[in-house]
Amino acid sequence: MKVENFIYEYRLKNIFQNVNFYFEDCQLNFILGENGIGKTTILDCIANVDEAKDDSFLGFPNNWEIAYLAQENGFNVGLTASEIICFVKQLEGNVQLEVPNIIEEILHFKFIDLTIEERKLLLIYLNTMVDRELYLFDDPEKYLRLSYSQMVFEWLRQLVDLGKTVIVATNRLDNIFDTDNVNYIKNNQEVLADSYLKIKGRMAF
Amino acid sequence: MKFENDLAIFKVQLKIAFKDKFYFVYTLIVPIFMIFINKTQDFQDNESLYIYWSYIVVTTVFNGFLLNIIRLRESGFFKTLTYLMGSKYSIVLSNLFVQVVIIQLEILLFNLIVFLFIIKVSLMTFIYGFLATFLATFLVSAMLSGALLIRIRKSTFNLFCGIFFILGIALLGSRPSGVIEYVQTVLNPFQLIYGLYIFPCSTVGFQILMMLCVCGYLLIGAMMFKNISIKQKLK
């Protein structure tokens, strides 16, 4: 899956000018960059949010083959975690991952009573439950302590083991392995795409 | 779109709607309270109920459908849910059908209370209320869906909603006539739905206006529905 010569303007501002992205199939891929540099924009385009995808996007699956966890999710309802999981289980196609202990512990709590961290974990878990070809996660580590974000990446790597492609947009380096494919957005004209081992020497964080 | 996904989202949205009890205070308890206050006034026929039905339909659609979709979208969860479901249309439609169920129950309950404590409501009125309310719900949803396009500050939007709501109810009570009635029917959702309920006993001119309004707003609603954005719009 790749994006070639991508140009994107928003309110007369050039977000991207002729940049390329490259994503490995059945791998954990990262879009790395500072806040506000356009990570959500590229994820929205990949997911074709509001028909934003154009001819620059090659090899990406259709919308119904994509799971996409947005950065913010104010899902303030009185349903319990268990009821929400039950709802997702009723949807067509599920991935049979083992229910993590942290999720087991919060099953009987109402979503609105969960901490912001628990809510985030539950939402990430829900997105790993559905059977899709491509999984997009926008800043999944936000609000999570390091140990929890490491656990989340274990879930994501389990998806990869099942032959799924995962793309994570983040500004944190904690959970990237040297072998992971990284697209580092340096600026609106330059995106470095390669394994993290090769990229990190050229990054200017 | 898969039927099992549609059914799952419908069931979960119905469960969410029934868990929010406060919502029924101003969509059902308020009109019941008001009809008891007004029962000493001239309350001779079943048509007097239409104004209350109009209030129930508009407030329920406004809070349960429009504000619910806007809240979902502005919180970012509309995007996530769309991809979990595989379609944004399932979410919007199931929400709308949940409101249809709730409104039908509210109007049935309201009519029963009126029947038991105020005046005899004919079986025909029960049936008419049930049937006309389907169209009323879709019509007001289509009319209010224009708000999904608004791109303003959240605080301004909340203020706008408050003014719109209070003004709409106040004007509904004014019972205008002539051109003012026509203008209000086109612009005020409360008046539009009231106009729909009194359609069979209206003048030919008013009936033509109502038919144009129904066709126009349903067309606008269909266009809004097709192009509904899942990204945040309010600043």
Tell me, yes or no, whether B234 lies in a domain: no
pLDDT at A149: 93
Structural tokens at position B53: 């039905």
Catalogue all structural domains in chain A, each as residue range(s) with its CATH number: 2-200 (3.40.50.300)
Q: Which residues of B touch A78 (CB under 8 A)?
A: 16, 19-20
pLDDT band for position B22 (cuts 50, 70, 90):
confident
Max avg pLDDT among A90-94, B144-148, B220-224: B220-224
Core vs surface per residue A159-195: b (16+ CB within 10 A) or e: bbeeebbbbbbbbbeebbeeebbbbbbbebeebbbee
The pLDDT of residue B111 is above 80: yes
The closest of B10, B96, B231 to A91, measured between CA atoms, is B10
pLDDT at A72: 83
Which of the pair, B233 or A112, is modelled with greater confidence? A112
Tell me, yes or no, whether B102 lies in a domain: yes
Note the pLDDT tens digit of each residue in B144-185.
988 888 777 777 888 888 888 788 777 777 777 778 888 888
Mean pLDDT score, B51-63:
92
ipTM surpassing 0.85: yes
pLDDT at B23: 79
| CB-based contact, B20 to chain A, within 8 Å | yes
Whether B16 sits inside 8 A of A44 (CB atoms) is: no
Whether A50 sits inside 8 A of B80 (CB atoms) is: no
Q: Which residues pair with A185 in a beta bridge?
A: A191
Q: Rounded mean pLDDT of chain B?
A: 87
Tell me, yes or no, whether B73 lies in a domain: yes
Q: How far apart are CA A19 and CA A198, in angstroms?
A: 19
Quick one: what percent of chain A has pLDDT higher than 70? 99
pLDDT at B41: 65
Tell me, yes or no, whether B175 lies in a domain: yes
Q: Shortest Cα distance from B55 to chain A (angstroms)? A: 26
Q: Which residues of A touch B148 (CB under 8 A)?
A: none
Tell me, yes or no, whether B232 lies in a domain: no
- Secondary structure of chain B: what % helix, strand, coil (to 5)? 85, 0, 15
Beta carbons within 10 angstroms of residue B215's beta carbon: 10
Query: How many separate domains does chain B show?
Result: 1
The pLDDT of residue A204 is above 80: no
Core vs surface per residue A34-53: b (16+ CB within 10 A) or e: eeebbbbbbbbbbbbbeeeb
Q: Which of B4, B79, B84 lies nearest to residue A49, judging by beta carbons?
A: B79
Q: Rounded mean pLDDT of chain A?
A: 89
Mean pLDDT score, B17-42:
82
At a CB cut-off of 8 Å and minimum separation 6, what does B131 contact? none
Quick one: what percent of chain B has pLDDT higher than 70? 96
Residue type, B189: P
B105 is in which domain, residue-wise?
3-226
Mean pLDDT score, A34-50:
90
Q: How far apart are CA B187 and CA B206, in angstroms?
A: 14
Tell me, yes or no, whether B233 lies in a domain: no
Q: Which of A10, A48, A49, A135 to mutate to test the interface with B (most CBs of B within 10 A)?
A: A49
Tell me, yes or no, whether B119 lies in a domain: yes
The C-alpha angle B61, B62, B64, rounded to 5 degrees, equals: 60
The pLDDT of residue B43 is above 70: no
